[in-house]
Amino acid sequence: MTTQVIVLNGGSSSGKTTIARSLQAVLPDPWLAFSVDTMVEALPPSLRESDAGVTYASDGSVVVGPEFKILDGAWTAGIAAMARAGARVVVDDVFIGGPDSQQRWRQALAGLSVLWVGVRCDADVAAAREAARGDRPAGMAASQATAVHQGISYDVELDTTRTDPLDCARAVAAHVT
């Protein structure tokens, strides 16, 4: 079966978004790329920094509330619907819920051909990238670097600590059928 969805999971500042863009450049067919960051940015201001929506603790951890979970479910279902309608999709996500996050995607993408990709990066390197970006709470990258991979199964694993995003994208593309 032809790969319809590529799910990239990794901590903040691990390089997922750059890999997703690189995949769009190296894959022969058009692929849409969607990031959980875009979903968070789409939230109404009342749900940013809200117990009902999403909050960021002083240690960089992320806490999602009930309204966020409802909207995240709709976002996930929408991406799955696009794939079912014929779009090839790259998803850039952070499995802060561990295996439950992957299971949520597995349910939404049931019946589709999915390539699961783990995007790892050394915590210190991710933290340095985070600081250079300046758009993330301090500590987020370090706290997520290994935690988001615990209990997750992958078809492909990458380490962006010293590997160029384009080379990572080529490694993923080699597994796309």
**Angstrom distances, CA of residue 42 to CA of 15, 28, 128, 161:** 21, 30, 27, 30
Instruction: State the Cα angle at 175 between 171 and 177, rounded to 5°.
Output: 140
On the CB side of 91, how many CA atoms lie within 13 Å of its CA? 31
For 36-119, where are the alpha helices, taking DSSP H only? Answer: 36-42, 66-84, 99-108
> Which residue among the candidates 37, 122, 155, 159 is catalytic per the annotation?
37
User: Which of 124, 114, 110, 135 has the alpha carbon at shortest distance from 17?
Assistant: 135
CA distance 130 to 51: 24
Residue 37 appears among annotated catalytic residues = yes
- Residue 151 φ then ψ, to 5°: 80, 10
Q: Which residues have a catalytic role annotated? A: 37
